Structures are given as C-alpha cells and as structure tokens.
C-alpha cells in the first residue's frame, strides 16, 4: 500500500508540473446526477443535450488513443465515459499532453468533472463521450478496485476493523453500507414525523451532568476547568425529561446521544443513540398500543410494506404484538419455577441446576442473565415482555394488584431488546427509597425535589435507535449502522 501511495504522489508532482491544479477551488456546474441521466437517457440522446457531470473513477480501461472510464457519484450509480484524443478540448493542455494525463496520471479514486454527450456503444451501453475533463481531486491513497468475474468479486474491502476505522473507503466501495445510513436517516425522519403528527414537542437535555442518573451504568467522567469539578457524560436523559413533565409539558421526545463506559459487542457501543418520549395521563398499556402504531408506520413509510425478511425470517409489523410475562417465559425455557418472591439464596441455588456462572450477587442481574442466556434469542416476532419485578424496575410504578411487580414492558424483536417502557413512578418518597437501595453514591436530589412539586401520571419509553435501525436494515451488528463506531 505504501509503494502505491508513493507512485501516486509522484504522479501528483508531475500533474502540477503540467500546469494543472489537482485540487481546484472553482465551482463547477453539474446539470445531471447519474440516476437522473439514466432515467432520461433516451430523451437526452434524442435532443443531443450537453452533459455536465462529476464523479469518482472506479475503473479505467486504456487503449492506444482512447480510454473507457467508469465513474460513480453520490447516488452510488455508475456510468461509463469514453474519450478519444481527437475529441478533447481542454484549455489546460495542448494535445501532446492529453495522452500523458489519461494514460499515466489518472487513477481509480480520482474525482473528475466532465462535459460531454451521451451515446450508445456497439454493445448497447449508455456512455458519455468526453469533450472536456477537469481533475477535481487527486486520490493519492489507493482504494480497493473491486472486480467481478463469473459472478465472483475480487479485491473486496471486507475486514470489519478496517471498514469501521476507514468508513470513508467502506462507503465508497461497499454499496450496501451507504444504503444502511440513508435508511437510518429516513427511519429517524419518519419517527419524527409520526411523533410530530401526535403533537409531541422535541426537546434537548444536557450531555454534561452533575450526577449520572436515569440508569444503572458506569459513566464516562470529565472535568470542568472553570467550575473545578467533575462532570459525567450522560448515561440517560430520563430524569431531565421527567422534570420537563413536572414543569408542564404534555408530550415530549428527544433523540439523545448517551455514553456508557462498558463493554463493546455487536449490541453495544460506548456511545449510542436513544429515543425517549413521555406522555402525561397515560400508562404502559396505552404505550404498548402506541408502539405498535409507531412500528407499523415506520415499516410502511420506509419500505412501502409491512412484512420484512430479517435473517431469513418474515416479520410482520402489521400484526397485533403478543404479551408474555417475564417469569412465565423464563420458567418455560428453564424449568426453574421462579417468581417475584424468590430470595437471592434460593435463586442462586436454582441457577446451579442450569450450571450458570453466577458473577453477580443481586437478583436483578442474575434474572437478566438467565433471560439473556435462555430466552431472548428464541424471540423472533415482536413480543412485549411484561410483569417485571420491582427490584428490577426502580423507576416504574407497581401494579395495583401486586406491589412486587411493576407496570413495565420491554419490546423484543429477533432476539434483541428494542425498547423499555413503564408507567413512571411519581411518588417522591418511594422513589427516594428505591434510589437509596439501588445506589447510595449517586442520588439526583434535584429530580426528587421535582417529584415533590408533583408529576402527573405519565408513561415513558426508551427505544434503542441503533438496534432498531440494525433490525430494519437486517444487520446483526449495530456497528454496521453507526458511522464511526468505537474501536480499541
């Protein structure tokens, strides 16, 4: 790779010696992108229209006095260009230098602007005859030149670590990757449209926080020079959003960038995007119905259909989503026969039957571990898991008929947790008790003070945007839908 880069740098020097600026600053008019050009190709040829277009070279085939060049533009479509030395009218060079520019100094990866006419070759391929060409940006770091022979690709850019580190190359050479991020943008746009149609208001809450609240996670720590104190990067925006509900907002949402100083795997990245929204005077039953509508809307607006093929399984987002109790699904898959009343001692004893490695000494993490190991991978179609115990749900209201269970659900699809929601606990005394039991080190006293003012009955939800988009784009790794995932 270094040798190729060295060769290209030499070419760059020689191009400059020819009096060509390889990185010109002038604006260049473009009257077609490749998609529009191909859509209107017959009309363009009939009217003999002038073509002004630009793109990145992805292939060059040189002959004696002519060459074929393939370019692609931001639409990811490609078109063939053809030039012959006798057809070029370039103000930068006199004729004796054309052959050197095209034969010796242009490379795959270079960005060019051309003026020309569209025609059809003998093999019926729509091609632009180049009349004028300008080099806009010389590529001196070689990019993979993918070739296809007998339906097999060669020189592919497949190494995950390289792809994530050099996403710019990944986007150039791997078509599907760019499509993932176009779909990501479209899905987020459709979510916003859906919520705005229901009169939600989008808000912003702080990323730098005095106390890492709203979730039980390890925070990133930073330091403010002026205040001379530590701050924490946001692990959750939940407590701030609920303070806005106390302040009088009725329906709010936020797409927030959150940060957790924890593991990296195919479902976790240290920084991630989450959507949280809150509605007053509703509960978790209402939220389940609302989430069904949201998923249905996203799927149809994005793909113009309700059924998606995900990991060779058809998932129908137009169906009513079933509900299943947490302990029922655990007991069905493990025969442990546990419930919300089980003691820590008995739970550990029962786990020994499963030969499950118990790393934790608290019930919520053990139960979470059992569920992750024995249950969640079997959930393919959308499913609401309900009836979470209070010790696993410190911010959720208890059920009316059982104060050891909460009004909470998690949404699972294709073996992954997509959303977590509950009827929000608005009793300040009870909330303080639970905070103390969960974590005595970090208690957001300002949040407790806001609850003392009085928060109306409210339901809230957090939806993992990266996981949701990985699901809709049929990717197992969330890193495939995060432009620049964290790497070691």
pLDDT tens for each residue of 92-116: 444 445 555 666 889 999 999 999 9
**Which has the minimum average pLDDT: 83-87, 171-175, 341-345, 394-398?**
83-87
20 confidence band (pLDDT: 50, 70, 90): confident
Q: What is the mean pLDDT of residues 62-86?
A: 87
384 confidence band (pLDDT: 50, 70, 90): very high
Strand-strand pairing, 398-399 and 50-62: unpaired
> Model-level pTM greater than 0.85?
yes
Domains along the chain with CATH numbers: 2-143 (2.40.50.140), 176-321+382-481 (3.30.930.10)
Task: Say whether pLDDT at 24 is over 50.
Answer: yes
pLDDT tens for each residue of 297-309: 999 999 999 999 9
Q: 93 vs 413, which has greater pLDDT?
A: 413
Task: Say whether pLDDT at 156 is over 90.
Answer: no
Q: 46 vs 361, which has greater pLDDT?
A: 46
User: In the prediction, which pLDDT does 378 show?
Assistant: 95
438 confidence band (pLDDT: 50, 70, 90): confident
Task: Say whether pLDDT at 181 is over 90.
Answer: yes
CB 396 within 8 A of CB 371: no
User: In the prediction, which pLDDT does 263 show?
Assistant: 86
User: In the prediction, which pLDDT does 95 show?
Assistant: 46
Q: What is the mean pLDDT of residues 368-395?
A: 95
User: In the prediction, which pLDDT does 96 show?
Assistant: 46
144 confidence band (pLDDT: 50, 70, 90): confident
Task: Say whether pLDDT at 148 is over 70.
Answer: no
User: In the prediction, which pLDDT does 383 show?
Assistant: 98
User: In the prediction, which pLDDT does 90 show?
Assistant: 54
pLDDT tens for each residue of 208-241: 999 998 888 899 999 999 999 999 999 999 999 9
User: In the prediction, which pLDDT does 93 show?
Assistant: 47
Q: What is the mean pLDDT of residues 153-157?
A: 73
User: In the prediction, which pLDDT does 108 show?
Assistant: 93
User: In the prediction, which pLDDT does 87 show?
Assistant: 64
Q: What is the mean pLDDT of the chain?
A: 91
pLDDT tens for each residue of 250-260: 999 999 999 99
């Amino acid at each position: 790779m270094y040798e190729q880069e060295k060769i290209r740098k030499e070419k760059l020097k020689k191009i400059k010696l020819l009096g060509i600026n390889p990185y010109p600053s002038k604006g260049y008019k473009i009257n077609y992108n490749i998609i529009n050009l191909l859509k209107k190709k017959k009309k363009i040829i009939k009217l003999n229209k002038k073509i002004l277009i630009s793109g990145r070279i992805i292939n060059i085939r040189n002959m004696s006095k002519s060459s074929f060049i393939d370019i692609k533009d931001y639409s990811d479509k490609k078109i063939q260009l053809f030039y012959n030395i006798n057809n070029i009218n370039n103000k930068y060079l006199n004729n004796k230098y054309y052959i050197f520019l095209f034969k010796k100094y242009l490379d795959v990866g270079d960005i060019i602007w051309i003026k020309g006419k569209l025609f059809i070759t003998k093999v019926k391929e729509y091609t632009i005859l180049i009349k004028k060409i300008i080099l806009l940006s010389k590529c001196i770091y070689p990019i993979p030149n993918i070739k296809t022979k007998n339906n097999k690709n060669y020189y592919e850019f497949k190494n995950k670590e390289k792809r994530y580190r050099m996403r710019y190359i990944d986007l150039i050479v791997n078509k599907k990757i760019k499509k993932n991020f176009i779909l990501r943008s479209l899905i987020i746009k459709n979510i916003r449209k859906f919520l705005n149609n229901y009169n939600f208001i989008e808000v912003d809450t702080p990323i730098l926080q005095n106390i890492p609240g709203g979730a039980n996670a390890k925070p990133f720590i930073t330091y403010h020079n002026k205040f001379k104190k530590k701050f924490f990067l946001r692990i959750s925006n939940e407590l701030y959003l609920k303070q806005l509900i106390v302040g009088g907002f009725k329906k709010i949402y936020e797409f927030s960038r959150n940060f957790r100083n924890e593991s990296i795997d195919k479902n976790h990245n240290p920084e991630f995007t989450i959507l949280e929204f809150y509605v007053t005077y509703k509960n978790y039953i209402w939220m389940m119905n609302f989430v069904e509508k949201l998923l249905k809307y996203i799927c149809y607006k994005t793909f113009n259909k309700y059924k998606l093929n995900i990991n060779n399984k058809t998932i129908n987002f137009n169906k009513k989503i079933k509900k299943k109790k947490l302990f029922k699904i655990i007991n069905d898959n493990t025969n442990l026969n546990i419930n919300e009343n089980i003691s820590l001692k008995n739970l550990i004893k029962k786990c020994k039957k499963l030969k499950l490695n118990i790393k934790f000494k608290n019930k919520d993490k053990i139960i979470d571990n059992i569920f992750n190991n024995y249950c969640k991978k079997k959930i393919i179609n959308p499913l609401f898991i309900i009836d979470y115990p209070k010790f696993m749900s410190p911010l959720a209201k208890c059920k009316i008929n059982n104060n050891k269970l909460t009004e909470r659900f998690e949404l699972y699809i294709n073996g992954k947790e997509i959303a977590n929601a509950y009827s929000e606990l608005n009793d300040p005394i009870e909330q303080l008790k639970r905070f103390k039991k969960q974590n005595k080190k970090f208690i957001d006293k300002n949040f407790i003070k806001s609850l003392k003012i009085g928060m109306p009955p409210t339901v809230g939800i957090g939806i993992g945007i990266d996981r949701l988009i990985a699901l809709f784009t049929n990717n197992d790794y969330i890193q495939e839908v995060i432009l620049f995932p964290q790497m070691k």
